[in-house]
Structure 1
């Protein structure tokens, strides 16, 4: 018997038993700005919605024919404000975080705290061999910002890496809250090292909470952090090979989780008039469909950030007809919930096509672009699997073929493929950097959600606010003492969509 291992296991079990028995109902109330004891009233938001755009050919031949329709759903936030966020950050302070890594983490945390507002609450959890709550969920005020920053600055890196303990403690803090009405939640997990053998973080159930994971450097278990984010409710995985980009990585996730437009979005596609719904491409989002291609398909998307888009490519077969006529080929119904309300809003669209002997329509460029993206994302995943199997030459060939099929209008995809190809120069380079980058690309394409990529590598899914937050994070890193981080109100002004053009009337012709 391995007595040393047995004793370690007993110690870990004791830690988890103690965590289970502890309660964390010490979350602070959200007090009014002008009061020391009066709480803010519950916020009621109106105006958040989903906009839908549909792209397809307007004509189809009389014979049986394949047909494609692209649906785009965009989250549109409200100008009335947003729900407060209860955020728990989980900071790795194991021995692997010593030196510049911990210093950069502290700086990034200062930026994060500055971007939170009075309606938000922040709890900080640290973990090494065990997990500890540095502070409960605290309302963000000038005083709490300073106090949390001081606590983070006093952290010292030591001991091993029990990621599971940190994640479980964060979930317990959110579960034990006394104030939950009309509040959204999120977890941000940051780590550098390989987790302890006794730590099994990927087994922790996180499906009800967004978990944003950040993997520092090359010495981290990227796959574990990637799986945790994928298993969560809309979280993302971000590799941070260069710690100079840590604040920027944080800013991408912050811009999303602080600006959720709608939640619980579902889309149902209903084929009509003998149309067959063969396939629905919607990334890794769950689909519910009946036994036949004549039945509806429902896709569950969960949340959408303000100005964030989900694309769905439907592949149909239209039946043979005898003469020209217009027909409805399918219906789309989407439902969603505005934050802070139990009521669901819904809308629907009908797709019409003219069946004609000799159609002249060419395929819509939006449809072709989405097909290209789906194919490229598939090639990236296949190349990553080959590289994991140490078949690097075949992996590189897969990327070269994908790159050759892209044109100048696919500049973002080309940049992603070429950078991954560069990181497959050798097996060592791939293991240290390429795998994490590939996992991040896969997750981003499958979820159609932005994640932090190495400096200079563009994302297809950045919202305007994400781009603004990244700029702010870079400015803050350059001058943390002198740079004033913009307020949420200033962010809204900066990223507001341009007003519609004013029609100029030539009065001389009236």
Structure 2
């Protein structure tokens, strides 16, 4: 230390060093205030904030918004989400009269036969209830904003090309979200990290999200449960929620097997996502490659109302994400419920085949309902209702069996509505002719689909119990189908097909017709019709393929110049 003045300023605080001040002169000739040196040493020795004891009481201080990368799964509440923005056209739509002439759910019924003999009764008569959501709005029309959390597996096997492909797929999702949509990114391996807070996808938001995704590095194991728990907290802790309408969803992608599951696959689902009454959002799961835990991914999707897709090749990752986003960005109706009521005093509802959708039959069997939830634009749902039909009275020419109604909330305007479908009725002639005995193809097609789905589920359960002979008796394909249900690509394909059929929603574009005949017969081409695929899904997949082809054209190196062949004269 020196007590005399120095000509140079303090190298820490940059203020002048005056006479009489305690200073320190280093060997490099730099001069420091003694107090500046002491403060710097104390700061270096001070423990980090996470290691300091927290006070047991005192005022709560709100943290400033965190940086894009958020390490540590022990972080506090994720209440730093960006405020939602409602477009003026959406706010104006709230004033629309629900009874006004606007697009509604179309509801129809089909009886298995057009007529029953007047003196005959049927212990189980099938009626198909068919609901169709209105079509997609015109380009530029207001739509429901989306809150989306993508949950990405970063275990060690994701290194290299796999992670590169996932980054491209997430980048495509970011590109196709709008400024009213919000996105958060969560990554996980042994632990979980929130990589991007729930932020609006404005130009700046997209750029920030892409930088964070590009910085992801794969290492460690697979802890699906921790990744989903953090994603749930991102949604549960939101400060801002759209008070008009909103769509919320999770996308989970994993190529590995969870190494931290304790009891059942269902335990991977966060508590706030369990149960139909307080479900936060559906989780759409994507199993990448043949080594992922297909049973776990299928269970997570089933428990939350999402779909499980099996992605078996490189090109399918972005297309699968595109298909999912195309649906989420085209939600037309929410809180959809179909109600059935008996009209004829002797008719009783025996049961409803509704796949994954919850249904209930009243104790007196005079009414029933099915909770459908969300419907994408142009999406359809078909449910079989089984009723008991009594013999008709002597003068009864027509028996009114059931009437159906559909209640819903318009996803854009937030208005609630209810629409009635045509009543299901059968003719009651004294005798039934050949024409009146013909089966309805609509009902028969749905009956065969439901039976096939149940057979697939039964065969899968038998195969996983090791009862291959029983599984072979269930499926027409015999031993080949049993082998396909073993762990690997066949098992994942089977579970993905079950998820698609039970929810009546399209699955990953990676699957081919040979797995389930979902695109018609074997060998169906790439452009063949796909069940449950909506126009919005097809459009987004087309955009995905176009973008990928454009990227390949711009990134492919120029062809090498032709080598000149020299010829020497003899």
Q: TM-score, normalised by structure 1?
A: 0.80
Are 2:246 and 1:190 aligned?
Answer: no
Cα separation, partners in 2 of 1:48 and 1:173, compared to 1, 3 Å:
farther
Q: Measure how far apart 1:279 and its partner are.
A: 2.1
Number of residue pairs matched by the alignment:
439
In 1, Cα distance between equivalents of 2:537 and 2:390? 44
In 1, Cα distance between equivalents of 2:271 and 2:258? 14
Are 2:449 and 1:395 aligned?
Answer: no
Cα separation, partners in 2 of 1:338 and 1:330, compared to 1, 3 Å:
same
Q: Measure how far apart 1:106 and its partner are.
A: 0.8
In 1, Cα distance between equivalents of 2:552 and 2:143? 29
Cα separation, partners in 2 of 1:50 and 1:140, compared to 1, 3 Å:
same
Are 2:130 and 1:72 aligned?
Answer: yes
Contact 1:245–1:455 (Cα < 8 Å) also in 2: no
Which moved further from structure 2: 378-387 or 448-457? 448-457
SS in 1 for 2:133: strand
Residue aligning to 1:22: 76
Matching of residues 246-257 of structure 1 within 5 Å: 246-257=317-328
In 2, Cα distance between equivalents of 1:129 and 1:238? 24
More helix by share: 1
Which moved further from structure 2: 309-318 or 381-390? 381-390
Cα displacement string for residues 446-469 of structure 1 (whole angstroms, at most 9, x for unaligned residues): 111112153433342111221222
Select 2:512's aligned residue among 444, 451, 456.
456
Which moved further from structure 2: 56-65 or 339-348? 339-348
In 2, Cα distance between equivalents of 1:43 and 1:193? 47
Cα separation, partners in 2 of 1:225 and 1:455, compared to 1, 3 Å:
closer
Contact 2:261–2:268 (Cα < 8 Å) also in 1: no
Cα displacement string for residues 347-383 of structure 1 (whole angstroms, at most 9, x for unaligned residues): 2232233211123321211111111111111121122
| Higher Cα Rg, which structure | 2
Select 1:49's aligned residue among 95, 104, 123.
104
Unaligned runs of 5+ in 1: 1-17, 34-38, 403-420, 484-510
User: RMSD of the TM alignment (CA)?
Assistant: 2.6
Are 2:411 and 1:339 aligned?
Answer: yes
Which moved further from structure 2: 183-192 or 388-397? 388-397
Select 1:150's aligned residue among 204, 211, 234.
211
Q: Measure how far apart 1:392 and its partner are.
A: 3.7
Matching of residues 240-389 of structure 1 within 5 Å: 240-273=311-344, 274-293=346-365, 295-321=366-392, 322-339=394-411, 343-349=415-421, 350-360=423-433, 361=436, 362-389=438-465
Residue aligning to 1:472: 543
SS in 2 for 1:219: coil
Contact 2:128–2:383 (Cα < 8 Å) also in 1: yes
In 2, Cα distance between equivalents of 1:299 and 1:31? 33
Q: Measure how far apart 1:438 and its partner are.
A: 1.0
Q: Measure how far apart 1:170 and its partner are.
A: 1.1
In 2, Cα distance between equivalents of 1:272 and 1:32? 44
Unaligned runs of 5+ in 2: 1-71, 97-101, 274-278, 514-518, 520-529, 555-570
Which moved further from structure 2: 363-372 or 313-322? 313-322
Cα separation, partners in 2 of 1:244 and 1:323, compared to 1, 3 Å:
same
Are 2:235 and 1:174 aligned?
Answer: yes
Contact 1:437–1:453 (Cα < 8 Å) also in 2: no
Q: Measure how far apart 1:64 and its partner are.
A: 1.0
In 2, Cα distance between equivalents of 1:43 and 1:125? 35
Cα displacement string for residues 58-106 of structure 1 (whole angstroms, at most 9, x for unaligned residues): 3221121243221110111544421110111111112121121111101
Contact 1:202–1:224 (Cα < 8 Å) also in 2: no
Cα separation, partners in 2 of 1:343 and 1:472, compared to 1, 3 Å:
closer
Contact 1:49–1:261 (Cα < 8 Å) also in 2: no
Cα displacement string for residues 234-271 of structure 1 (whole angstroms, at most 9, x for unaligned residues): 31111112233111111121111111111111111111
